[in-house]
Each structure stands twice: as structure tokens, then as C-alpha cells.
Amino acid sequence: MTFLSLKTADLQGKRAFVRVDFNVPMQDGVITDDTRLRAALPTIKLLIEKGAKVILAAHFDRPKGKVVPAMSLEPIIPALAALLDKPIAFAADCVGPVAEAAVAEMKTGDVLLLENTRFQPGEEKNDPELAKGFARLADVYVNDAFSAAHRAHASTEAIAHLLPAYPGLSMAHELDYLDKALGNPTHPVMAVVGGAKVSSKIDLLQNLVSRVDILAVGGGMANTFLAARGAHVGKSLCEHDLLETARAIEAQAAANKCQILLPTDVVVAEAFAAHAPHRTCEIDDVKDQEMILDAGPKSVAALAAALETAKTLVWNGPLGAFELPPFDIGTMEAARTAAALAHSGRLVAVAGGGDTVSALNQAKVAGDFTFVSTAGGAFLEWMEGKALPGVEALKHPS
């Protein structure tokens, strides 16, 4: 199975239904971060160059199948028009007579934005009739919203079976780097997984220990693994009901010859607050009233040494309470080590997840990573080894 290529497609005069992610943060009707709009520009511009009529479809927020005026996509038009430097038409519905009339008015190279797809109750139900309504608007389908690819919705999955279907340039770029990270990586492969809870990442950990050579566990998750090994973690965030799960994951790792790296020294404090009085200690010296808030310098050095041996890195989650200085030091130093190795070409470093992106931006190294995914849930499900409906629907027999 492979994918059709937009770059080689004949799209002159064709109507292209393009699923994008325009679920951007807004405040008082003004976009506060236009990253997702910018991500769609290469695909939109390519379609314009190829003489297509570009019909943009997206969701915004969670209207739950009802028309909620405050969740209209219309306020996005000024920002998008400025980025494209051309006028953008708007259809007050995403399907049916209103949308069909707006499409009928289009000329080659025009761009039309449809209203919020989630105003339709059938969107999140992957309703085949709604998908047929979408398909009537177009000749080809393009999905450029990897961030929505883990959802089987009418505009991300069902429609892809009704028209010639292509990944957009942003989607194709993401899939290429994800394949390099876990699909067909260069070994040794290392994963760094952090965050608060093992319970939210059991599937992820179980998948990774069968795919990677080294798994470094940090953040609150590491405390559960440490407790499972018999360590005393004081008042630290720890899921004591999951100690057997942690031991099972360690056993699975051993069976797959995957080395698990856990902190050997830690930074502890009695209060979860920025600049709280703190100390660094060995893992067997945590007091009852203390909580582990970061990996210690020896642990960070061991992680850096492991990174030096790796050829591929996939990273999801911080090593400590990075939002509270000075408990951000472990995450910042590890991120800078990985970024330097990636920048020098010695490491393919792929990262994703909201906290991870924030941490890399905080360390000012996101630009040096090979690829940083902003896809959130889709990135996590991909790391868990799950098939993403929006991607599967684009596959084409080779």
C-alpha cells in the first residue's frame, strides 16, 4: 500500500475538497496562534498553481452537531486571506444547497472556506450520507489534517473512499518523518517518554518496548516504575495501583532486549511550586514529606550518554515539572543534547505532544529537531502503534 502524490496529479479545473486543521486558538475573534493556518499554505498554494478550485473544510471547537455561531469558521478568513494574499470566499454551510451554490461560483484558482464541519450531526458519526454530500462538491479529496487523522469522521475517513484521495503536503511530510522514527528507523532507536501518569500511556509503553532499543522514562511516570522496583518515592505523584503493570512492561522490555532508563538521582521538594526549597538526592534517599519534581544531574548525564549512542529518537513528554523553575533543568538539558545531535546530522529526532512542544520551545531548540509534530492525539495514537483511520483511508494499492 502507498499513497497517491499531489505533486504529479493533473488537477487543472478540478474541484479539490481539502480537509485542513483550522482549529486555531482565538480570543475575542482574533487568532492568537496561526501555526495551523501556515501549515496548510503549501498544499493550498500547490493546488492553486495546478489550476484547481480549492474547497477548504475544517472543524472548530466542539459544537456537537449543532450550529453554534460563536464556533463559526468565518472569523478565520481575514488571517487566511492575508497569508495567501488573495480573497477567500465563505460558504455558510459545509454541505447541501448553500455549499453547492458557492462551489458553482468558483473559478480556477479560487479558494472557498466551508462552514464548520462539526455543525453537521453526521460529521463525528462518520455518516456515509454526509460524506456523499461532501463528495458531490468535489472531484478529488485531499487530507492535510494529520492532527484529525485519528478520528473516523465523515470529512476525514468516509469521503476518502468516494473520491480519488491524496495526502496533502503537510500530511505527507508528517507521515514521512513518522515512518523514519518508528516505521522503518535506523537503529539504535531511543524513546524518551515522560509526563504525569503511566495510566495514560500504557498502550504507548507496551508498543515502544517492542520497537525501540532504549526507553528512557521520566516525569511522574518514572515514579511508578521506581516504586515498582521497590524505591520509596515519598509524596511524589505515583500510581501505586499500577506497580504490577510497570513490572509487566519491564518484563516485556527485557524479553525484547529493550533497555529501560530510569532516574538514579532526583530533585525533590516539599512543595509543588516554582522556586520551592529543594535538594538533589539519590533515589534511595527520598524523605516521606518530599516529592520528586525532576531528574537529577547524574540521570540527565546518563540520558545524554544514551542519546550519543542512538541514531533515531522519538520523544513524548517532559522529564519533570518543567513548567516550574528550577524543575525544568532536566528536560531543558536533555532537549538541548538531542537538538545538538539532530542539528549535526547524527540523530533523527522526532518529537510530539502538547507538553513536549512547549518544553522544546521553552528550551529554544524545537527548530533543531528533525521534526516536531503538533498533532497531539494523532501523534500519541501513532506512537501507540494504532492504525489512524484518516491515514488508512488514503492508502492506495501500489
132 noted as active-site residue? no
Annotated catalytic residue, options 36, 53, 151, 201: 36
90: phi then psi, degrees, rounded to nearest 5: -130, 135
At 245, list the grid cell: 503493570
345 noted as active-site residue? no
CA distance 189 to 182: 8
Annotated catalytic residue, options 109, 234, 354, 376: 354
CA distance 312 to 398: 28
Annotated catalytic residue, options 86, 377, 385, 395: 377
Q: Give the bridge partners for 312, in sequence order.
A: 189, 348
354 noted as active-site residue? yes
CA distance 304 to 301: 5
Cell 516536531 sits on residue: 372
CA distance 115 to 59: 8
At 388, list the grid cell: 489512524
377 noted as active-site residue? yes
DSSP secondary structure letters along 360-398: HHHTT-GGGSSEEE--THHHHHHHTTPPPHHHHTTEE--
Q: Tell whether omega for the bond before 63 is within 30 degrees of 0, i.e. cis.
A: no
H or E segment to which residue 203 belongs: helix 202-208
The answer to whether the beta carbons of residues 360 and 328 sit under 8 Å apart is no
Catalytic residue IDs: 36, 197, 354, 377
